[in-house]
Amino acid sequence: MIKNIYFICCLTFQIHDPDARSLQVTNLKPYTYYQLRIIAVNIVGRSQPSNASRQFQTMQAAPNIPPGNLTVRTLNATALRISWTVGAFILCFG
């Protein structure tokens, strides 16, 4: 199984609440593995990076391409056989 692991360097989020303990990270790629680290910054300087988070995976996205090569074959008076192909894995899930 191939895993897409992205390294996001240097994303900056300004948090003005000194009591904040969480942050929502958006615009990640669907069906992709990530790990995060945090560096705190104030007027004095930067902290060391936190330990890496556990690896997590974003959810799958809906397929962005329709099935192709749709064929229908009559089997008998009350049944049909329908077949199709799917797009490339990476295109179907993000």
Question: CATH for 1-59?
Answer: 2.60.40
pLDDT at 10 exceeding the cut of 90: no
Q: pLDDT for 25-66, tens place per residue?
A: 888 888 888 888 888 888 999 999 999 899 999 999 888 888
What band does 89 get if pLDDT is binned at 50, 70 and 90? low
- Contacts of residue 49, defined as CB under 8 A and 6 or more positions apart, other chains included, come to 37, 38, 39
- What is the pLDDT at residue 16? 82
Residue with tokens 């899930």: 93
- Contacts of residue 59, defined as CB under 8 A and 6 or more positions apart, other chains included, come to 30, 31
Pick the closest to residue 9 from 49, 58, 41 (CA basis): 49
Pick the closest to residue 25 from 68, 58, 60, 52 (CA basis): 58
